Structure 1
Amino acid sequence: MARRRRGLTTEERELWSRVARSATPLPSRGGAPAEEPPKKASSRDLSEVKRQAESFEAESFGAELARFRIGQNALPNPAAHRAEASPAERLRSAPLRMDHKLHRKMSQGKMKPQARLDLHGMTLSAAHPELIRFVLSCHQNELRLILVITGKGRGDHGPLPTRPGALRHQVPHWLHTPPLSGVVQQVTAAHYRHGGEGAYYVYLRRGAFA
């Protein structure tokens, strides 16, 4: 007859409980506990991500179009790429240094120039001294209104390339810098009957060299 197994006493159960609480479990054979494998995205999840991406792209594109207007420069910095004002436009915005009625009459081509200089076809290096000689000579002879023709031009034909219409852009600058600035009172683009934007009225000061 088999012996009946004796159960643990109260004291033995208490002792076992204390041992169990102080024991540290051994790591698994694979080292750190294995992480749960990532859940595979379903086709429904992928469709939702694609829909959100398309929605974001459409909103961004719409915002860019909303800020753009027809005729507006599409470049990042419109001010840097704005079309440069023509010499005639810059002269129209310059301060008026002569009688306004006389200036209006001159701008309308109702005053006949007393002398003219044709620089058309000259290089910049040849035109500059010729302009100085002509203007100072006219001032010395007490002329008031003279005409300087530059042509709308395709640039200086010298050894170094320059911008198209180089003379048309450079002549007003020369007229407003020494030695000519002392005798020149006003410079205006000529009326079309005298050459339009390819020529300039130069109104000279009266009296001695300023």
Structure 2
Amino acid sequence: MKRKRLSAEDRVLWSRVARSAVPLKGKAFPDDEEETLPLSVPRQEPPVSSPVGPQDGRAPQPASSSRNPRRLDAPTRRKLATGRLDIGGRVDLHGMTQEEAHILLLTFLRRAFEEERRYVLVITGKGSSGRGAGVLRRAVPQWLSTEPFRTIVGGFEEAARHHGGAGAIYVRLRRKAGRR
């Protein structure tokens, strides 16, 4: 029987399920190397910004705003919150490591973009109450502004309370080139 290769998204989900499983009495976890390899995502260091700017004394030029995600406008956010605009998909990143969440989010958004969905909901969670904002709650908006995401993300905004409030983000995906 030929084994089907799992996508990155499926490997992340499978690893979460496998970690929660308890082997039967007298049985051990499988030693299959392919299933126990850790997922790795190249770490992206945030760009180091100099407070002074370029060496020649000029003010730094802002990045091209045509590719940077913007906030959603108020009417669009209101329509999403009231259900007058369809949310084309949801992804829940609760309980994941940053590495797992990054892989899952990127594959989810790419798939939604290819399927020409316009708006999706990303659930990050609010984080533990004792330590302020959660890691994913802070990281996801930063990721959405970085290169692999900004080519497909047109804008994002905190979700309405009944969609998760501060623990969720509405994401507007760009249209494919040549589509209106």
TM-score tier (shorter): 0.5 to 0.7
Q: Distance in 2 between matches of 1:188 and 1:109?
A: 15
How many percent of aligned residue pairs carry the same amino acid? 44
Does residue 138 of the first structure (1) align with residue 107 of the second (2)? no
Shift of 1:154: 2.7
Secondary structure, aligned partner of 2:101:
helix
- The structure showing larger relative contact order (alpha-carbon pairs under 8 Å, at least 6 residues apart) is 2
Q: Do residues 180 (structure 1) and 149 (structure 2) align?
A: yes
Q: Mark the CA change 1:208 to 1:136 in structure 2 (over 3 Å): closer, same or farther.
A: farther
Which of residues 94, 97, 107 in structure 2 aligns to 1:120? 94
Rounded Cα–Cα distance in structure 1 between residues aligned with 2:148 and 2:69: 20
CA contact (8 A) 1:154 1:166 kept: no
The answer for unaligned runs of 5 or more in structure 2 is: 1-67
Determine if contact 1:148/1:200 at 8 Å carries over to the other structure: yes
Aligned pairs, number? 110
8 A contact 2:110–2:152 mirrored in 1: yes
2:136 to 154, 167, 189: 167
Instruction: Flag as ranges the 4+ runs of structure 1 deviating above 4 A.
Output: 94-100, 107-110
Give yes or no for contact 1:109–1:191 (8 Å, CA) kept in 2: no
Going from structure 1 to structure 2, the CA distance change for 1:208 and 1:146 (only over 3 Å counts) comes to same
User: TM-score if structure 2 supplies the norm length?
Assistant: 0.53
TM-score using structure 1 length: 0.46
Give the structure with the higher percent helix. 1
Q: Matches of 2:144 and 2:110 in 1, distance apart?
A: 11
1: CA distance, partners of 2:77 / 2:147: 23
> What is the SS of the residue equivalent to 1:180?
helix
Matched residue SS, 1:179: helix
Quote the offset at 1:153 in angstroms: 1.5
Deviation of 1:95 (Å): 8.4
Which of 153, 160, 183 is 2:127 aligned to? 153
5+ residue gaps, structure 1, are 1-93, 156-161
